[in-house]
Amino acid sequence: MLWIAAAVFVVVIGTLLYGTFRRRPSSPEFEERPTRKRGATRAIAAGAVATLLILFVYLVFDFSVGHALGASRRGAFEIELIGHRWWWEVRYLAPALPARITTANEIHIPAGAPVLVRLRSNDVIHSLWVPDLTGKRDLIPGKRTSIWLQAATPGVYRGQCAEFCGQQHAKMALLVVADSRADFDRWYAGQVASSAVPTDSVTMRGRQVFLENACALCHAVRGTPAAATIGPDLTHLASRRTIGAGLLQNTRGNLAGWVLDAQSIKPGVDMPPNHLTPGDLQALLAYLETLR
Amino acid sequence: MTATASGQAPTALREALHEVWADKPGLVGWLTSVDHKSIGKRYVITAFAFFLLGGLEAAVIRMQLARPENHVVGPDLYDQLFTMHGTTMMFLFAVPVMTAMGLYLVPLMIGSRDVAFPRLNAYGYYVYLIGGLFLYSGFFLGSGPDAGWFAYTPLSGPEFGIGKRMDIWAQTVTFTEIAGIIAAIEIIVTIFKQRAPGMSLNRMPLFVWSMLIMAFMILFAMPWIAVDSQFLAMDRLMQTQFFNQAEGGDALLWQHLFWFFGHPEVYIIFIPALGYVSTIISTFTRREIFGYPAMVAALIVTGFLGFALWVHHMFVTSIPQIGASFFTAASAMIAIPTGVQFFCWIATIWEGRPRFQTPFLFMLGFFLVFIIGGLSGVMVASVPFDSQVHDTFFIVAHLHYVLLGGAVFPLWGAFYYWFPKFSGRMLSETLGRWNFALFFIGVNVAFFPMHLLGLNGMPRRVYTYIAETGWGDLNLLATLGAVTIAASVIVFLVNVARTLAAAPHAPDDPWETSSTLEWAVSSPPPPYNFAELPVVEGRYALWDRSAEQPVVTGLRTDQRELLITTLLDAEPDHRHRTPDPTIWPLLAALATGITFIALVYTPWAMVIGAVLIAAPLIAWGWPKPKPGDPIVTEGTS
Amino acid sequence: MTREPAANIDVAALPSAAFGHRAITWWGTLGFMTAEGLTLVVCVVAYIYVQRNFPRWPPPGTPLPSITIPLIQIAVMLASVPVMAWTSRAARRLDLRGARLGMLLSGIFAVAFCVLRWYEFQALNARWDSTAYGSVAWAVLVAHSTLLVTQVFESATVVAILYRGPVEPKHFGDVDDSCLYWYFLTGGWILLSLLVFFSPRLH
């Protein structure tokens, strides 16, 4: 398509520039009104026909690609993706899979198999876009939309919200991780499990900090009393590559900064600043790091 | 020179007409003027001022994006800036400046003395001005709209749109739509009924054709957004449920109504520009535009097709495939009439001997830049391609190539071309060439890299991006392009300032080869335009006229009269008394402004407004006959 | 271009007013009718579009609109049309007496429409903020009501000019244009009324 466009550009602009800068006869007749109508009429008609033909080929090509992309497939399983301002909630739905799990900002799929992603939003319109895997599809409140995700080879593919959804539209990314089937099954089994139980005094203190501070008002950690659904499910937080919806690497330092003052990193986000003592903070981080 | 030229008509006639048609002196005259030239000039200047503001917003946006994770502005201000930029350029600059050029030039070009409804024309301008000032007052007071110029619900709705930001936006849109519809009706009726005798439809200059089609498109497109924005305002103010899916409303209803206006909007901006191109090419090659019937047909077809494309803005909302295919085909087909016009222009240039003065340079710029935008436009008509590049910088590149190439280059050429007619002075050629060169380089450097950014995955409307994406260098390049564009705008402003201060006065037709009637009168034109209306003898009025220009005689000289002619053949039909200057349109516009602004805060403004607006309207229409006017009493019939 | 010899044209003898499509005010009126008519069309589009989101129309819990008042409104509107046709003919023969009477009657009719409209809003049996059904139904009525109010002011102004002001021939053109607008106002409403008040009964 680019080559056709480039060719059209060269031909049209070439004709224009030649027509503009060509040498004119200096005869007085030339200064009179144009006379050579027939040649020009033919050239214009030829141009119009050429335009029509190029567009026809283009449309045939477009429809066949569109048809191939739209062809129905047999999916391995279905995922429900819910857009929030400004993060992604990912649900793996029973019954195709043995248990329903909820995670955030990271979609795992088995490489080579098509997966149907059902798209939902309860606030504003978002749009899922994983450039290396597929085109965009909007998440529209009150509408059912869906899109097929399929990665030919294992790898990590960055995705991003593509419909303006407010202040942090820029920082609403996600990762699609395509694993081999075995790796995927291992990951899935890990996600189905309940959260890690603290074993030492520091992480036990950390869990207490989590439950007694604002954290538990918005986040869920399965296996603890925290079951709120306002923010991302943190049951297996430490297994995820990024925090803040694809924004930061999931390191202890970044996590600390996020917990203390998410507003300075992602202004407008729902996560409030948390005033923790250094001891509490370290304990909380230690606990969160156990949530593999 | 002939009898239509201002210099040849009897002095007594010119003095009498001047007495009747001139504005009153001083500030009062300025506020009460209903002269289409005064109003048109104000319209152009106001729209250009908004263009500068929109440009400043763009400059800040480019500064912010020049480097990854930059901190020139925060996300909240950034969202307001890009929303203001889009809203300003589309609603306050592009459409108004195009209608303004029409309101100024059409009566001159068709040989009439004013537009059809001069008072309504003044009212429309003031409504537009108030709307623009209202939006900017909100912005500078911290209530700039922040949901994009497209204002998708529910982001713009009562739940997520904070404060009064989007209410102000919605009412601004209403203001500009009212002004646009009024301008469209003015232009249509003026063209239909006021053409000089002899200017039958098939002799109308292509410029006038393009204005006519633009006006029809405005008339058919703008009511959609006017109602849509009122739905939004009511959702926010009175808890109606138009777009609330929880109560059966529909977020996509907003998008359909918006784009049913929004896509024709592009052609509303583009089609008048085609009129400038035809006019300027014909003057600077001294050739009739090749294939007049094909050109007119292409304009009309473009106008119709413009209404069949709106869904291509919504391909990624999950449109059924068969429907999407129709819109793909329609979108691609619009390349045909555009192509035909391109070929006709090239043939015209080929056959002529072009003179490379500034207006013509901008035409060459138009060809080079617009064709890139047109070709990328055909690409994004494809659903598979669009679903990748939709809402990325590829689209930003595409739309700026189309709008800058297709509208701003021709408009800039038109400014240079008609400036002597507006002001009586010629702009400098040297600075004009600098203006053109910087703008041409700047546009390409700023926007071409954006194609690549989009293909590399950079979405639109992001206030920043992280360094790892690798988008930094191309963004820096784009910002350098924006700086070059700014430099070219500054050159233009300097050119205008120096010209108004010092340039010598321009003759009637400084280009010497113009073909349309506005060049038969002095620069700037007298208040009555034509001392004696010309009788038109061909498509190119000044080239086809007899040595002794036939004229119209017998219009009254003691009051403002227009000659009304028949729709198709422009045969004289009757004389129409047209109104004198008055303050009432301004007061009515103020009352309208107060009503709509109050409507941001309370629905009762509708009730109060009805009374408030009615009073000046009645005064506006109240008859004030002059001695000698026919008066009808109960016995006369 | 073919040249035809043209001569000067003297227009002093041409009339200074015209009716119908010859007059620019007629075209102006037509232009505004187009724009206003489209606002009504947009409301109708919204009405039909939103309907797809409802399994039942009107939604459960919302009663059907009453039709007595809407029927009276339609009857009154139909009755007004011959009056306005008569007024138009009077205006075209510059019959000041007829024009005065006709426009006075038009004012009375327009006020009557507005009073009936007040009750029509109640006949909807739904609030604008209840559901999208209520919103679109109100939108249709409100959009048309702005035209009604405009007509009241228009009639009042023309009546005032005809009785108090110096009447020029062009004012008969205004009367004539008022009649054109009248057909749009009443004819448009009958279609809208069928949609909003009567079509829900078909579901």
**pLDDT tens profile B126-148:** 999 999 999 999 999 999 999 99
C contact chains, 3+ CB pairs < 8 A: B
Select the residue from B258, B302, B349 to test the A interface by mutation, using most A Cβ atoms within 10 A. Answer: B349
* Token reading at A285: 């981080």
pLDDT at A144: 87
Can you tell me the distance from the alpha carbon of A120 to that of B251, in angstroms, rounded to the nearest whole number? 13
Number of H helices, E strands in chain B: 20, 3
Residues 6+ apart with CB under 8 A from A253: none
Instruction: Give Cα separations from B37 to B22, B23, B421 (angstroms).
Output: 11, 11, 11
CA atoms within 13 A on the CB side of C87: 30
Peptide bond into B154 cis (omega under 30): yes
Q: Position B259: which residue type?
A: W
Chain A CB contacts of B386 below 8 Å: 135
Q: Three-state DSSP class for A105? A: coil
Both tokens of A10, joined, read: 């060269």
Q: Tokens in use for C177?
A: 């244009």
Mean local confidence (pLDDT), B348-375 = 93
Query: In this structure, are residues A290 and A238 in contact, taking their beta carbons and an 8 Å threshold?
Result: yes
**How sure is the predictor about A72, in pLDDT bands with cuts at 50, 70 and 90?**
low
Confidence check: pLDDT of B461 > 50:
yes
B325-357 pLDDT, tens per residue?
888 888 888 888 999 999 999 999 988 889 999
**Contact call for A136 and B463, based on CB within 8 A:** no
- Ramachandran angles phi, psi of A175, nearest 5°: -115, 140
Q: How far apart are CA B135 and CA B126, in angstroms?
A: 14
Residue A117 CA to its chain's centroid (Å): 12
Nearest to C144 by CA among C99, C193, C101: C193
**CA angle, B471 as apex, B467 and B473 as ends, to 5°?**
100
Reduce the DSSP state of residue A88 to 3 states and report it. Answer: strand
- Interchain CB distance below 8 Å, C21 and B238: no
Per-residue pLDDT at B555 exceeds 60:
yes
Q: Give the whole-angstrom CA distance, residue B57 versus residue B582.
A: 37
For residue C153, what is the nearest residue in chain B, using CA coordinates? B614
pTM: 0.94
Whole-angstrom distance, CA of residue B172 vs CA of residue B179: 11
User: Which residue, chain included where needed, has tokens 């280009």?
Assistant: B511
Using the beta-carbon criterion (under 8 Å), do C9 and B633 form an inter-chain contact? no
pLDDT of residue B6: 41
Look at residue C124 and tell me whether its pLDDT is greater than 90. yes
Quote the pLDDT of residue A2: 73
CA distance B382 to B335: 14
The single residue listed with the structure tokens 């691609």 is B332
Select from B119, B188, B247 the residue whose CB has the most chain C CBs within 10 Å, as the one to mutate to test that interface: B247
Nearest-10 Cα torsion for A246, A247, A251, A254: -150
CA distances from B417 to A147, B277, B281, B423, B512 (A): 52, 11, 11, 11, 12
ipTM above 0.90, yes or no: yes
End-to-end Cα spacing for chain A: 47
Does B636 score more than 80 pLDDT? no
User: Out of A37-46, B31-40, B67-76, which region has the weakest mean confidence (pLDDT)?
Assistant: A37-46
Which of chain B's residues have a Cβ under 8 Å away from the Cβ of A1? 379, 382, 385
Confidence tier at B57 by pLDDT (50, 70, 90): very high
CB-CB under 8 Å, B550 with C13: no
> Got the DSSP string for B584-598?
HHHHHHHHHHHHHHH
Q: Is the pLDDT of residue A30 over 80?
A: no
User: Are the beta carbons of B339 and B297 closer than 8 angstroms?
Assistant: no
Give the whole-angstrom CA distance, residue B172 versus residue B95.
Answer: 14
pLDDT digits (tens, 9 = 90+) for C75-105: 999 999 999 999 999 999 999 999 999 999 9
Of C168, C181, C172, C39, the C-alpha closest to C109 is C181
CB within 8 Å of B151: residues ≥ 6 apart: B145, B166, B169, B170, B229, B232, B254, B258
Q: What is the pLDDT of residue A37?
A: 66
B197:C153 CB<8 A: no
The CB density around residue B123, as the number of other CB atoms within 10 Å, is: 26
Q: Give the residue from B333, B351, B355, B368 with the most A CB atoms within 10 Å of its CB, the best one to mutate.
A: B351
Residue A41 has a pLDDT of 82
DSSP H stretches of helix in B110-205: 118-140, 165-193
Query: What proportion of chain C, given as a percentage, has pLDDT over 70?
Result: 98
Q: In what order do the strands lie in the sheet with A106-110?
A: A106-110, A173-179, A155-161, A126-129, A137-139
Residue B635: closest CA among chain C residues belongs to which residue? C96
Give the span between the Cα atoms of B164 and B142, in whole angstroms. Answer: 10
Q: What is the pLDDT of residue A45?
A: 85
A227, β-bridge pairs = A220
Q: Tell me whether residues C53 and B222 touch, CB distance under 8 A.
A: no
pLDDT given at position B561: 93
On the question of pLDDT at B637 being above 70, the answer is: no
The DSSP secondary-structure symbol of C167 reads: P
DSSP state letter for B521: S
Asked if the model's pLDDT at residue A247 lies above 60, the reply is yes
Three-state SS at A71: coil
Q: Is the pLDDT of residue B559 over 50?
A: yes
For the segment B237-281, what is each residue's pLDDT rounded down to a tens digit? 999 999 999 999 999 999 999 999 999 999 999 999 999 999 999
Residues B75, B146: Cα–Cα separation, whole Å: 10
Q: Does C23 touch chain B (CB under 8 A)?
A: yes
Least confident interval from B8-12, B563-567, C142-146? B8-12
Give tens-digit pLDDT for B463-474. Answer: 999 888 899 999
As a whole number of angstroms, the distance between CA B52 and CA B64 comes to: 19
* Interatomic CA distance for residues A131 and B191, integer angstroms: 50
